[in-house]
Amino acid sequence: MSSMSTVGTGASLKPMAVIEARRFARHPLFLLGTAATFVVTLLLVLNDQDRVPGDLLSWPVVPAFFTGLTSLIVAARLTRSTESSDEAIASTPGTEARRTLAVAIACSVPFVVGVVWLAMLIVLVGIWEPAPQEWWFPNMSDLQVWSALIALGPVACLGGGLLGVLVGRWLRFPGAPAVVVLLVVVATMLGSAPVETGHPELRLWTPWTMFHSGTGDDGTASLYAGSAFFYLCYTLCLCAMAVIGAVWHDRAARSGRLVAAFVAAVVIGLGSLGLAMTTGVDRNVQSDPIPHKISD
């Protein structure tokens, strides 16, 4: 039997994925994280007396933190619950690999939240126009700017959920999802250490990174080196690796095709990471002062 037939066909997988997506969307922790994502984003604008959105390439930290990290915990819990959930199993029986893929597909729910958040950002900057320096278009192409926003926002939300699926399949000790959340935060913070050094591109190995320093008291900000487009490709490969790794937990689903898919994701991911570090903005770039952000 081929790996595809072992994992399951689209016809058998779809109803399971729909069930898991509903469970994901209704989970209290996910709802809390989603609400925080939009409330905090609105406060970033409403609490600014000038109503001029700033540090736009830094904003994706909001959905990445509130939606992405809560989705990690929710996905891990849903993945574990598929072993005993009457709702998920009785309605559509399937192998462990199928149930894993169903939860992985359900991670499209936080991804959609990330997309909606990005759309809201565009609406906000349409209402309250930012300073020209905020978009970095003179230093980055449109593709690079949008790649940074997508990678650090919607894809980070998706990646958090998929990492949760991986955790739910492989880690069984109490509090494992919370421990992984802490490790991700610490790794991201430590991995960001090179941003102001002579090799800022070395930060790009982390699953979430900064491309923007935020505005200082002198009204200037820094754009960090690297290619946001290839970083986006790298993060998508990390997502693929998480799904394949979770499916691999089912011994019956292990096959040469699954190994080949994982190797391909690793090779493409490493290639993308290398290109992210060696192309794009070749050094940190400082903006001109933004008048309304210069401290008195």
123 has pLDDT over 50: yes
Summarised one tens digit per residue, pLDDT across range 56-108 is 888 999 999 999 999 999 999 999 987 654 444 444 457 899 999 999 999 99
pLDDT at 272: 98
Cβ atoms of 163 and 176 closer than 8 Å: no
Structure token pair of residue 234: 């790298």
For the cut 60, the answer to whether the pLDDT of residue 5 exceeds it is no
State mean pLDDT over 148-173.
97
Decide: 160 and 110 in contact? Cβ < 8 Å: yes
- The confidence score (pLDDT) of residue 74 equals 98
CA 196 to chain centre: 23
Query: Residue 148 has which token pair?
Result: 């940074």
- Res 3 pLDDT > 70: no
Report residue 139 CA to chain centroid gap: 24
pLDDT over 70 percentage in the chain: 90
Is the overall model pTM greater than 0.85, yes or no? yes
